[in-house]
Amino acid sequence: MRLGKKGKICPRYVGPKKIRKRVCKVSYELDFPAEFAAVCPIFYISLLKRCVRDPAFVVPLKSVVVKDSFSYEDVPVEILDRQVGRLRNKNNASVKVLWRSQSVDGATWEAEPSMKAKCPYLFPSDSTPA
């Protein structure tokens, strides 16, 4: 029995599933739903993959709007930091951008001129009243 679709896009792993019990040193019985009743629930340890849950990799679904083409546009929220790097005789300004669907740990460094062109609302006005 194939789990999912056939061919090249057949999933390699189906899960995560809970381990019901350890059968012997090298095999485990998994807790499968009724739709997998035709599959033997006992698997050799080399066929299993550890599921490590890291909350940093979870994207909040409320803030992501998925388009029909299964893509989404990530919107910058604020500028966290600015730095100027020197490369030979050029100064390169970079800004650390916080994105809508990411946490502070997921902020990325972007080139300041390109961010000013795309999102001028993130930068305060350079003109000061006299």
Q: Quick one: tokens of 77?
A: 């929220």
Report pLDDT for 95: 92
The domain locations on the chain are 14-47, 74-122
- Specify the DSSP class assigned to residue 117: H
pLDDT, tens digit, 9 for 90 and up, residues 74-89: 788 889 999 998 888 8
Number of C-beta neighbours around residue 119 at 10 A = 15
What is residue 126's predicted lDDT score, i.e. its pLDDT?
A: 60
Report the mean per-residue pLDDT for the chain: 79
Residue-wise pLDDT tens for the chain (130 aa)? 555 556 666 666 777 788 899 999 999 998 888 877 787 888 898 888 887 776 666 666 665 666 667 666 778 888 999 999 888 888 889 999 988 877 788 888 999 999 988 888 888 776 555 4
pLDDT one-digit tens code per residue, 89-100: 888 899 999 888
Q: Is the dihedral of CA 59, 64, 69, 74 positive or negative?
A: negative
CATH topology of domain 74-122: OB fold (Dihydrolipoamide Acetyltransferase, E2P) (2.40.50)
